[in-house]
Structure formats: C-alpha cells, structure tokens
Amino acid sequence: MKKVFVKSYGCQMNVYDAERMTDMLATEGYAETKAMEEADLVILNTCHIREKAAEKVYSELGRVRELKKERAGQGQETKVVVAGCVAQAEGKEILRRAPAVDVVVGPQNYHNLPDLLKKAKASRVVDTEFPIEDKFDHLPKPSKAMIQNRGVSSFLTIQEGCDKFCTFCVVPYTRGAEVSRPVSKIIDEALRLADAGVRELTLIGQNVNAYHGEDESGSVWTLGRLLHRLAEIPGIARLRYTTSHPRDMDDELIAAHRDLPAVMPYLHLPVQSGSDRILDEMNRKHTGDEYRRLIERIRAAQPNLALSSDFIVGFPGETDAEFEDTMRLIADVGFASSFSFKYSPRPGTPAAEMGAQVSEAVKSERLARLQNLLETQRQAFNHGTVGQTLDVLLEKPGRHPGQMAGKSPYLQPVQIETDRHQIGDIVTVRITQAGSNSLFGEVVKPGSQAAA
Ligand code: SAM
Ligand code: SF4
C-alpha cells in the first residue's frame, strides 16, 4: 500500500478538509502515515490568513524538497501537493517558488486529487477554479473504522465561504462565496458519524451561523432549526458550532441555547475590536455596544454561557485610545478563552492599502497587554469551575495509567482518575483543581454511556 502524509495548517475547516482528502485517497490505495519520511505522497493543506501562516508553507516546502531528493536517491518517488488557501491565493506562483511541488489544488477542488495526481505523472498541475459542481457530492464516505479512529468528537462542515468581506480578511477570496450544504446531506453525514460512535458534533463554516441550507422540499433552514434536528439523533449528546459572526446571531439560534441541552453553553463569537471606528473600518457592521447587548441577550437565554473571541490589534490607523476601547470591551464582557493576533496585511484586501499602518513595536506592545488581560480572564474562569460539577465527555486515555482525558461543556480539557469508564462516556465530574491548561476532577455520577 502507498502512504500519504497530510499536514494541516490553520482553521478547523482545514482539519475537516484534510480528513476528507485522506478518506478519498484511502479509496485510491493510500494508507495514512504520521511520518513524512515514509510518505509516497505529501500534502500540505495550507492557511493564508496571516503572512506568517503563508510563509511557514514555503519553509516546510524547503524541507520537503530535501526529503524528496533523499527518497529519489533510494529509488523512491514522492509526489508533493499544496492544497488549501495558499494554493488558492498563489496558484502557479507556488510552482515557480517551490520546484518540489507537483500539484497545487484549491479548497474547492480537492475532490479532483486522484485525477490531478494522474496528470502530474506527465507535468506539474494547478487546479484553483471555483467549480460548478459541489465537491461534497464527489467525496467518498469514510468507513466506520476510519471514523472510529478519529474519536468521539467530530467536525462537520455545513457551510463554506464568506460574503462579509471584512477589510482585513482573505477568506472571501480564497474560499469563495458563501454556500450552505443541503439539510439532507448534513443529516446523512451526522447519522453516519453517530452510528460509528461519535457523541459530539462541531458544525463548522467560515460563517457558520449564516447557514441557510435547503431541505428536500426547497424550504430554507436556519442554523437554529438545524440544531433542533441534529439534537434528535440518537447518540449525539453535544452540539457546537464555529465560527459565528455577531450579525448572524438570530433569535432562533439564541433560543436553541436555552431550549436544547445538547447545545453546549460555549460560544466562539469574534468581535475583533472594541472601537466603533475600527469596527466600521473593518466592515464588521456592528458597534461595540451592539456586541455587548447581543451578549446580554444570549446570556439571558443561557446564563452559564462561556464566551470566546478573536481579536486583532494594530489594524491600520488604530490609535492608543481605540486600543483602550478594545481593552474596555474585554473587561466588560469577560472571555473564557480567546485568540488574538497582530494585524497582518494581506495582498488584495482593502485594509492592506489603507494608510497609517501601525508599527510592529506598537502592535507587539498592544498584543502583550491584551493577551495578559485575556489570560487573566481565562485563568479566573478555569479557577471558577473548581468545586462545580460538570459533565465531561471522555475522549482518550489520560496522561498517566488509570487516567482519562475529556472535555467539559466549556471545552476545557479535564483529567480524571477512573478505570471504570470508556471513551465516549459522558460522566459527571466534580472539579477539584485547575492547572494552567487542564482541570482535574473526580467522577460523582457515571452519566450517559457510549453505545457499546
Ligand atoms: N469568520 C470568522 C469571523 O468573522 O470572525 C473568522 C475567520 S478567520 C479564519 C479567523 C480569525 O483570523 C479572524 O477572526 C481574525 O481575528 C483573524 N484574522 C483574519 N485576517 C487577519 C489578518 N489580516 N491579520 C490578523 N488576523 C486576521
Ligand atoms: Fe473573514 Fe470572518 Fe469577515 Fe468572513 S466574516 S470576511 S471569514 S473575518
């Protein structure tokens, strides 16, 4: 059997896409390997969101080139594929900069990989057209064993692309226009995952709460409605969704947080900045206070809600006072965890052309202060759960024999001592201690069992 090594960078969409590529290549006779040195096919599934992410790919390609040479010396052939958003954004340029690459394929075209690999026997190929057909219709379904191998928590893509055009962001250009998958396709995939023992589904999309897929009668479903249907699937105990935009948090979705116990009380809802002027320049189409009021409404529906967000510091023209607005918003809202970044100009986006780019030194200083505040909030949130009883979904063996590791409803890693439970069980745990990254707890009730 030939071997394929896939390295994924960036967001959850790429993790999902990497799994789909592996599923498809399995039907072409490729087994997955975790060791690049033994791979006949190396795929880098790339991210273009910030300059650093994109540059990482080229340095990795340098390493791949050496490996390809070494293997050729031993009479072994290695094909190299660049997939994902760098592939989409840079296309042929990759072939020019990286001679080791055989195939460049965009995120909407990877269902063509078997074909492209055949063509690459004759010459190097690029496929970055936005196709008319839906790649999901061409992807083989993973076997039960492959699903089980990946664990009890699974991503499920329900929506792709973005029409929001935030001025800093490449996604609308690399992933294309917003498209929602049909309801029946999502339900089929969820049923298959549940049948293989999956207990938690994280619905993913670049703009997941803008979901508006059609059912078989042509009527359009919102994400709220979809969550209700998915919550009925036997075995599925937990539902999450990411990434959402504040403008698409509608009443039905907020009510789902109140009405559906399966919808976890955790929400990643990026605000990016607390300054109204910067939010406007970013084309986010809401103010800081609108975000605060929205959070109040969601917390009224689900008082236990833990929040997470993305922040960008040093957007062009951001003044000290505007940065302080972001710090104030963080202090007002309170976040359980967050991602924060220095603004990185992306070619082709409006913000990259704006004057008054903020210096690297100022960006670094602001990021350090912001991350300090967010880290204090994260630690306070984690310590606040000590003494609480939380349901924990057991996902894998723990760090030491006799331990298991799982996740709380708030996505916190939890370590418990047990020899009575199995992966997929949801146990009620009293949290006894909070470390810097994990919680520790003891089982107080067995809770709901995984299907045998
Ligand atoms: N759709 C999501 C939203 O609207 O919040 C975000 C998707 S993006 C893949 C993930 C995060 O990357 C963004 O929320 C933003 O904070 C960050 N990001 C995007 N473009 C960036 C840039 N040019 N520089 C720095 N951070 C950026
Ligand atoms: Fe990018 Fe998200 Fe804005 Fe879409 S909504 S352009 S994915 S940051």
Task: Please give the Cα distance from 410 to 49 (Å, whole number).
Answer: 26
Report yes or no: 426 and 416 within 8 Å, Cβ to Cβ.
no
Please state the atom number of ligand 2 nearest to the C-alpha of residue 172: 6
Task: Please give the Cα distance from 17 to 370 (Å, whole number).
Answer: 32
Query: Ligand 1 centre from 276 Cα, in Å?
Result: 18
Task: Please give the Cα distance from 60 to 260 (Å, whole number).
Answer: 44
Query: What's the DSSP call for residue 283?
Result: T
Assign 333 to helix, strand or coil.
helix
Please state the atom number of ligand 1 nearest to the C-alpha of residue 340: 16
Output the tens digit of pLDDT for each of the chain's 452 residues: 899 999 999 999 999 999 999 999 999 999 999 999 999 999 999 999 999 888 899 999 999 999 999 999 999 999 999 999 999 999 999 999 999 999 999 999 999 999 999 999 999 999 999 877 788 888 888 899 999 999 999 999 999 999 999 999 999 999 999 999 999 999 999 999 999 999 999 999 999 999 999 999 999 999 999 999 999 999 999 999 999 999 999 999 999 999 999 999 999 999 999 999 999 999 999 999 999 999 999 999 999 999 999 999 999 999 999 999 999 999 999 999 999 999 999 999 999 999 889 999 999 999 999 999 999 999 999 999 999 999 999 999 998 889 999 999 999 999 999 888 999 999 999 999 999 999 999 999 766 666 54
Integer distance in angstroms from the first to the last C-alpha of the chain? 32
C-beta contacts of 364-370 below 8 A and 24+ residues apart = 366/313, 366/314, 366/318, 366/323, 367/313, 367/314, 367/340, 367/341, 367/342, 369/327, 370/311, 370/313, 370/323, 370/326, 370/327, 370/330, 370/340
Query: Ligand 1 centre from 389 Cα, in Å?
Result: 34
Query: Ligand 1 centre from 151 Cα, in Å?
Result: 28
Ligand 1, CB within 6 Å, residue ranges: 11, 49-50, 168-169, 171, 206-207, 243, 245, 270, 272, 310, 312, 341, 343-344, 346
**Residue 227 CB-density burial (10 A; 0-12 exposed, 13-18 middle, 19+ buried):** buried
Residues forming beta bridges with residue 407, ordered by sequence position: 393, 413
Please state the atom number of ligand 1 nearest to the C-alpha of residue 284: 4
Q: Whose CA is nearest to atom 5 of ligand 2?
A: 164
Q: Whose CA is nearest to atom 13 of ligand 1?
A: 310
Query: What's the DSSP call for residue 450?
Result: P
Ligand 2, CB within 6 Å, residue ranges: 162, 164-166, 169, 171-172, 206-207, 245
Ligand closest to Cα of 204 equals: 1
In this predicted structure, what is the pLDDT of residue 452?
46
The full DSSP string for 170-206 is: -HHHHT-S-EE--HHHHHHHHHHHHHTT--EEEEE-T
Query: Ligand 1 centre from 352 Cα, in Å?
Result: 14
Query: Ligand 1 centre from 148 Cα, in Å?
Result: 32
Q: Whose CA is nearest to atom 1 of ligand 2?
A: 169
Query: Ligand 2 centre from 384 Cα, in Å?
Result: 32
Task: Please give the Cα distance from 322 to 228 (Å, whole number).
Answer: 40
In this predicted structure, what is the pLDDT of residue 447?
65
Q: Whose CA is nearest to atom 5 of ligand 1?
A: 270
Task: Please give the Cα distance from 320 to 343 (Å, whole number).
Answer: 15
Kindly report the pTM of this predicted structure.
Answer: 0.94
Q: Whose CA is nearest to atom 22 of ligand 1?
A: 344
Q: Whose CA is nearest to atom 20 of ligand 1?
A: 169
Please state the atom number of ligand 2 nearest to the C-alpha of residue 245: 5
Q: Which of 85, 162, 309 for a ligand 2 pocket mutation test, highest count of atoms within 8 Å of Cβ?
A: 162
Ligand closest to Cα of 310 equals: 1
Residue 336: count other Cβ atoms within 10 Å of its Cβ: 22
- Distance from the Cα of residue 234 to its chain's centroid: 25
Query: Ligand 1 centre from 314 Cα, in Å?
Result: 13
Task: Please give the Cα distance from 43 to 80 (Å, whole number).
Answer: 6
Q: Which of 48, 159, 207 for a ligand 2 pocket mutation test, highest count of atoms within 8 Å of Cβ?
A: 207
Query: Ligand 2 centre from 178 Cα, in Å?
Result: 11
